[in-house]
Chain A
Amino acid sequence: MINAGIVGLGWWGKVLVGSVQGKSDNIRFSRGATRTRANAEDYAGEQGIDLVDTYDELLAIDELDAVVLATPHSKHREQIEAAAAAGKHVFVEKPITLTKADAAAAIAACRDAGVVCAVGFNRRFHPAVAEAKKLVDDGTLDPLMHVEGTMCAPNGMFLAPDAWRADKNETPVGGLTPMGVHVIDAYINLFGEIDEVYCQSFRRAVPNDTDDTSSILFRFRNGMSGYMGNMLATAPSFRIQAYGLGGSFEIRKPDLSSFEFVPNGDGPITGATGENKTVTKDFSGFDMANAELEAFAVACSGGDAYPVPDADVIHGIAVLEAIVKSAESGSPQKVG
């Protein structure tokens, strides 16, 4: 049983704790540290978590095996390095950092210390994504042409002005860091590296000085093109649809529960494709947070490695940096 400390008991920290606490044979949170301790006392008590005042105190607790970081992005690198120095495995929320150099350094620190560094790309564990990956890897869709992804939430409208997420230095390009990085990681997972990006990002409706409407064009190393839209001032939604000569798949709904694959028949152009070979699957009820923390625990115990390669994590941050630069410059940006 991995003994973990939760760092950051805001909204998302609580989601992470709730996904495994008392339900998992592999991981349990015994300790926690959070910026405003008073706000978390009741919750921590209910969950059987002992709070300490500082992160350093947490790291000094011998029997803790691991820390789970649900903290502002700008803190991640220093917190990961401190955890590695203390010999603790690290699970860090996405994005791991805001620069590629920081990502590489943080990951190297963990590797050198012999501890796990796992990034919270929970969509990688979702069966809908696994279905999609099979189609892509099988060559069923070949040649791949294009992918579209959209992820939205209304959260930008409800952030307090002093919330860290309302600080555009923590969350450049609006919904990119809360949501977009999940879609980008799915793209990297499915289609490989991204070569170039172009981003336009605006503030349309949120009260704080952050963007809420961002759209991005991609060119992949494999030659296909892509698009992503992220909005922080509209109803929650999620969609990824990929198009190939062989057909297309679409994953929909905020819980990714809707999966459909339609092969490209050779019927007339008005759409009749003869025998209906559409595959539709319902993946309701899958708990992505639980899956990622379970996988983290397994890796910490010396089992299967956490299934998000370091190279993908670092490349994802290179893509993020290029997107931020493109939004600032108004020009397309090659991914470094």
Chain B
Amino acid sequence: MLAAGIVGVGWWGQNLVNASGAAENIEIIAGAVRNPAKVTEFADEKGMTLHTSLEAMLAEADLDAVVLATPHSLHVDQMLMAIEAGKHVLSEKPFTMSKADAEKVLDAADAAGVTAVVGHNRRFVPSMAELRKKIADGAFGTLLHVEMTETGPAAIVMPQDSWRFQRSEWPAGGMTPMGVHLIDNMVDLFGTVESVTAQAVRRAAEADIDDTTSVLLKFSSGMTGYLAVMVTARPDFHAAIYGRDATARMIGRMYDSFEFAPREGGEPEQFNYDFGRDSDALTAELDAFGAAAMGQEDYPVSRDEIIHVVSVLETIIKSAQSGVEEKVG
């Protein structure tokens, strides 16, 4: 059982702490926050000590691991600090904002003999496991195309002074809060991405950020993809996989239901799961991190995948700026 400290006890940090309660391999016993007064009640409830910085927490608490739920631009330095202190680290997505930084962190972790991984919780849902299996079984026939769109009103409902609402934290609109999840889903199911072409526009956001991003992808396998994220729209989710022999479509927003339809013969299969994307999957992710840190089992997002997802994100941001197709590095 790993003892972990979490940096960032805001909305998402609290989700992680709540999920850790059901975890078997890890326990969150400390939190580092800029303003401890805001979360003392929560911390007390959870039996967490509070510290005013990662540095302080590393010095003051007896930890095996660190979990980061902090602004994206801080991830690299925070991961390196934790690694230098000999701690395993789980960072929220995106792992880093550049491929170079991702490699730097993973190399440092290897050298220090600790585990550094990224919180792609949506890998841990049963619908993704089933889709992975269907693809491996060839149930779709030749794969043609995938579409994934996620939208939400974050840029409308969150306070406008949130750290998120600047281009340095949210380049290309919703790519870092939501898009990177979709990239990871696609890399998980369909393999590496060879090139991307992206466009990002600002249509409704008050803050100076793009709110509508759409991307075309070419996979190394030859299939293609489309990805879109919007941050001034109602909460919605669309995901569809098109194969020669079958198609699949996610129902609802939470990855807990999908329909698989063979093109010929038979009724579509419905798959429904009682498994929370942002709760049970977080518990599974934390447990997987713990198991990896304790040397029991590889984390299901490989080193190459961690780097590749960052690389795709970086290239999408580049393409949104250049306006042309960009090869993924």
Q: Does A217 contact B (CB under 8 A)?
A: yes
Known: A204-B144, A237-B247. A332 touches B204 (CB 8 A): no
Interface residues of A in 234-250 (CB under 8 A from B): 234-235, 237, 241, 243-245, 247-248
B141 within 8 A of A: yes
Q: Tell me whether A148 is interfacial, beta carbon within 8 Å.
A: yes
The answer to whether A268 has its CB under 8 Å from any CB of chain B is: yes
Question: How far does the Cβ of A40 sit from chain B's closest Cβ, in whole Å?
Answer: 29
Q: B235–A217 contact, CB under 8 A? A: no
B236 lies within 8 A of chain A by Cβ: yes
Q: Is B64 an interface residue (CB 8 A)?
A: no
Decide if A224 touches B203 in the complex (CB within 8 Å).
Answer: yes
What residue in chain B is nearest A203 (Cβ atoms)? Answer: B222
**B-contact bits for A252-275, CB 8 A (1 contact / 0 none):** 000000000011111111110100
In the complex, which of the residues B197, B201, B243 contacts A198, with contact meaning CB atoms closer than 8 Å? B197
Which A residues are in CB contact (< 8 Å) with B233?
145, 243-245, 248, 264
> Does B216 touch A at the CB level, under 8 Å?
yes
Q: Is A92 an interface residue (CB 8 A)?
A: no
Complex-state Cα separation, A227 to B325, whole angstroms: 15
In the complex, what residues of A have CB within 8 A of residue B314's CB? none
For A273, the chain B residues whose CB sits under 8 A away are 234-235
Question: Is B224 part of the contact surface with A, judged by Cβ < 8 Å?
Answer: yes
- Check A86 for interface membership: any CB of B closer than 8 A: no
Q: How far is the CA of A271 from the CA of B278 in the complex (A)?
A: 13
Query: B323 to A332, Cβ gap below 8 A?
Result: yes
Q: Does B157 contact A (CB under 8 A)?
A: yes
Could you say which residues of chain A place their CB within 8 Å of the CB of B152? 269, 271
Contact A224 B201 (CB under 8 A): yes
Q: In the complex the two chains form, is B201's CB within 8 Å of A269's CB? A: no
**Chain A contacts with B in 12-67, Cβ cutoff 8 A:** none
Q: Are A223 and B203 in contact (CB under 8 A)?
A: yes
Q: Are A231 and B144 in contact (CB under 8 A)?
A: yes
Interface residue stretch chosen among A100-108, A149-157, A297-305: A149-157
Interface membership of A114, Cβ < 8 A: no
Which residues on the A side are within 8 Å of B158 (C-beta)?
A: 269
- State the CA gap A236–B253 with chains docked (Å): 23
Q: Flag whether A212 is at the interface (Cβ < 8 A).
A: yes
Q: Chain A residues near B151 (CB, 8 Å)?
A: 243, 248
Residues of A contacting B238 in the complex (Cβ-Cβ under 8 angstroms): 148, 241
Bound together, the chains give a CA A263 to CA B236 distance in angstroms of 11
Q: Is A143 an interface residue (CB 8 A)?
A: yes
Question: Is A229 part of the binding interface, using a Cβ–Cβ cutoff of 8 Å?
Answer: yes
Q: Check B197–A263 contact: CB distance below 8 A.
A: no
The A-B contact count (CB < 8 A) is 148
Bound: A146/B144 CA distance, A? 23
**How far is the CB of B132 from the nearest CB of chain A, in Å?**
20
Contact, CB under 8 Å: B147 / A229: yes
Distance between A191 CB and nearest chain B CB, rounded to angstroms? 12
Question: What 1/0 flags go to B143-157 for Cβ under 8 Å of A?
Answer: 111010101111011
Let me know if B157 and A213 touch, CB within 8 A: no
The answer to whether B83 has its CB under 8 Å from any CB of chain A is no
What mask results when residues 136 to 152 of chain A are scored 1 for a CB within 8 Å of chain B, else 0? 00000001111010101
The answer to whether B95 has its CB under 8 Å from any CB of chain A is: no
Assembly CA distance A113 to B230 (angstroms): 49
Chain B residues with Cβ under 8 A from A270's Cβ? Answer: 235, 278
Chain A contacts of B261 at CB under 8 A?
235
Please name all residues of chain A whose beta carbon is closer than 8 Å to the beta carbon of B153 when the two chains form the complex.
264, 266, 269
- Do residues B211 and A145 form an inter-chain contact, with CB atoms below 8 A? yes
- Nearest residue, chain B, Cβ from A264: B234
Contact A266 B157 (CB under 8 A): yes
Question: Which residues from A are CB-within-8-Å of B228?
Answer: 146, 148, 227
A122 close to chain B: CB less than 8 A? no
B258 within 8 A of A: no
Contact indicator A234/B201 (Cβ below 8 Å) = no
- Least Cβ distance of B185 to chain A in Å? 17
Q: How far is the CA of A74 from the CA of B158 in the complex (A)?
A: 54
The distance in angstroms between the C-alpha atoms of A200 and B325, with both chains bound, is 10
Tell me the B228-249 residues at the A interface (CB within 8 Å). Answer: 228, 230, 232-236, 238, 240, 242-244, 246-247
Contact assessment for B224 and A243 in the assembled complex, using a CB-CB cutoff below 8 Å:
no
Interchain nearest-CB distance for A180 vs B (Å):
14
Indicate if the CB atoms of A143 and B142 lie closer than 8 Å.
Answer: no
Contact between B147 and A150, CB atoms less than 8 A apart: yes
**Residues of chain A within 8 A of B201, CB atoms compared:** 145, 219, 223-225
Contact B234 A265 (CB under 8 A): yes
**Shortest Cβ distance from A274 into chain B, in angstroms?**
12
14 pairs from A and B in contact (CB 8 Å cutoff): A145-B232, A146-B212, A148-B147, A204-B144, A204-B223, A231-B144, A234-B243, A244-B204, A245-B232, A245-B233, A264-B153, A269-B158, A271-B235, A330-B325
Nearest first, the 5 closest Cβ-Cβ pairs linking A and B are A271-B235, A264-B234, A205-B142, A245-B204, A205-B244
User: Can you name 10 extra interface pairs (CB under 8 A) apart from A145-B204, A262-B234?
Assistant: A146-B212, A146-B230, A200-B218, A204-B143, A205-B141, A205-B142, A223-B203, A229-B242, A237-B247, A263-B234
